[in-house]
């Protein structure tokens, strides 16, 4: 499933084409994805000017002049693809429609935004912009890891007293929003922290040191256009490249990349997810 860097990469790709532009027509080609689409979604989108695009955790939020916000979740295999871009940054010709093109936004500027999702685990919703913080998918999210609210004091306090492994705590969207399995594994490696260590046993000093490391990992991944493992594509259809920089994720049995370590990457399963780490240098 796309994590924060992949979603942010898609948002940044869509913004130059959608912000300030009008949706001339919206085609909704099925009644649902993971959940039913909101009533009259095509009519509510058609004719609306896009005021701006935001990201919250793993969701893209499209603010409209109608004072409604379109929420987009890519799910396991969802892609937001651009064609006919008047800015000249993407392929100019519109491709032929495909089987899994579930929602298509025809922009007045000539661009076309296609939401393609073969597995149909993605989702879209429309809600009043003013009520966004109360939306069921957003209300319980923790602070953004790249935002000012996610600081050393907050994080140390959030982990204190928690009897779960630090890996599980970092994946808890109520503690910090948007982190997923890949980037938690990579951040813990850079910090030299074992994913098995209990959150309550992580000292305040080590917890504080993990905050800038998380930011750096996410920043590096965004700069590389995210990670493409199976289905992820950027908005221009290109692959992300951060997977070529993984230190531990997916590298089971390979040598640890930390200089002087001499260990190898192991894989364990925690709460049904694979954790990759070096038992020799992550404590």
Dump pLDDT digits (tens) for 13-55. Answer: 899 999 999 999 999 999 999 999 999 999 999 999 999 999 9
192-212 pLDDT tens trace:
999 999 999 999 999 999 999
Structure tokens at 65: 């002049």
Domain boundaries, the chain: 4-134, 152-278
- Catalytically annotated residue among 44, 198, 267, 273: 273
* Other beta carbons within 10 Å of 205: 10
Asked about 200 being catalytic, the answer comes back as no
- Residue 58: active-site member: yes
Please state, in angstroms and as integers, the Cα–Cα distance from residue 80 to each residue in 35, 62, 265, following that order: 18, 13, 34
Does the domain at 152-278 match CATH 3.40.50.300? Answer given as no
Neighbours of 178 (CB within 10 A): 23
User: Which is catalytic among the residues 58, 167, 233, 251?
Assistant: 58
Fold of 4-134: N-terminal domain of MutM-like DNA repair proteins (3.20.190)
86 catalytic per annotation: no
pTM: 0.90
What mean pLDDT comes out for the span 266-275? 94
What is the C-alpha to C-alpha distance for residues 8 and 180, in angstroms, rounded to an integer? 13
Spot the catalytic one: 2, 5, 145, 165.
2
Q: Is 108 a catalytic residue?
A: no
């Amino acid at each position: 499933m796309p994590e924060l860097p992949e979603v942010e990469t898609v948002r940044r790709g869509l913004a130059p084409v959608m912000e300030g532009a009008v949706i001339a027509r919206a085609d909704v080609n099925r009644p649902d994805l993971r959940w039913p689409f909101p009533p009259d979604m095509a009519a509510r989108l058609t004719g609306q000017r896009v005021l701006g695009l935001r990201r919250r955790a793993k969701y893209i939020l499209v603010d409209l002049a109608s004072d409604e916000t379109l929420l987009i979740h890519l799910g396991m295999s969802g892609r937001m693809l651009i064609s006919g871009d008047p800015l000249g940054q993407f392929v100019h010709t519109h491709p032929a429609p495909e089987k899994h093109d579930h929602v298509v936004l025809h922009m007045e500027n000539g661009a076309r935004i296609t939401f393609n999702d073969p597995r149909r685990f993605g989702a879209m919703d429309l809600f009043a912009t003013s009520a966004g913080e109360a939306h069921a998918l957003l209300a319980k999210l923790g602070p953004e890891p790249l935002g000012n609210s996610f600081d050393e004091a907050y994080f140390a306090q959030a982990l204190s007293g928690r009897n779960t492994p630090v890996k599980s705590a970092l994946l808890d969207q109520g503690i910090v929003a948007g982190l997923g399995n890949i980037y938690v594994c990579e951040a813990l490696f850079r910090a030299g922290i074992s994913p098995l260590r209990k959150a309550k046993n992580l000292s305040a000093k080590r917890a504080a040191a993990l905050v800038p490391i998380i930011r750096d990992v996410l920043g590096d991944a965004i700069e590389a256009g995210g990670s493409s493992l199976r289905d992820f594509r950027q908005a221009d259809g290109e692959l992300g490249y951060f997977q070529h920089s993984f230190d531990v994720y997916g590298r089971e049995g390979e040598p640890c990349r930390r200089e002087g370590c001499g260990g190898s990457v192991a894989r364990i399963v925690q709460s049904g997810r694979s954790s990759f780490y070096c038992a020799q240098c992550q404590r």
